[in-house]
């Protein structure tokens, strides 16, 4: 049995804001399976992909989102 770790910053943000996965995938753009890997912590995106995701989330929410709000960047800072 495969257990998914779905408590990533990205997954929590998407869930808390009620962001449509279809709209997010379209705004990035990205295949749903790849976005799922990022959401569930099964893969970590490259810097250019992080930038695309951040831009898409900013567009969808109208909020000045920072990358560390969506991803653990190893800075040990909790998102602001």
> What predicted TM-score, i.e. pTM, was given to this entire model?
0.84
The pair of three-digit structure tokens given for residue 59, joined into one six-digit string: 């567009």
pLDDT digit string (tens) for 17-67? Answer: 999 999 999 999 999 999 999 999 999 999 999 999 999 999 999 999 999
Question: Does domain 9-69 correspond to CATH entry 1.10.260?
Answer: yes
- Contact status, residue 62 vs residue 55, Cβ threshold 8 Å: no
58 exposure class (CB count in 10 Å sphere: 0-12, 13-18, 19+): middle
Half-sphere exposure of 75 (CA within 13 A, CB side): 12
What does the alpha-carbon distance between residue 78 and residue 80 come to, in Å, rounded to a whole number?
A: 6
């Amino acid at each position: 049995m495969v257990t998914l770790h779905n408590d990533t910053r990205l997954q929590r943000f998407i869930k808390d804001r009620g962001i449509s996965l279809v709209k997010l995938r379209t705004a990035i753009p990205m295949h749903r399976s790849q976005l799922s890997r990022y959401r569930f912590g099964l893969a970590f995106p490259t810097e250019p992909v992080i930038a695309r995701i951040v831009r898409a989330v900013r567009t969808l929410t109208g909020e000045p989102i920072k990358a560390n709000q969506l991803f653990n960047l190893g800075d040990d800072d909790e998102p602001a």
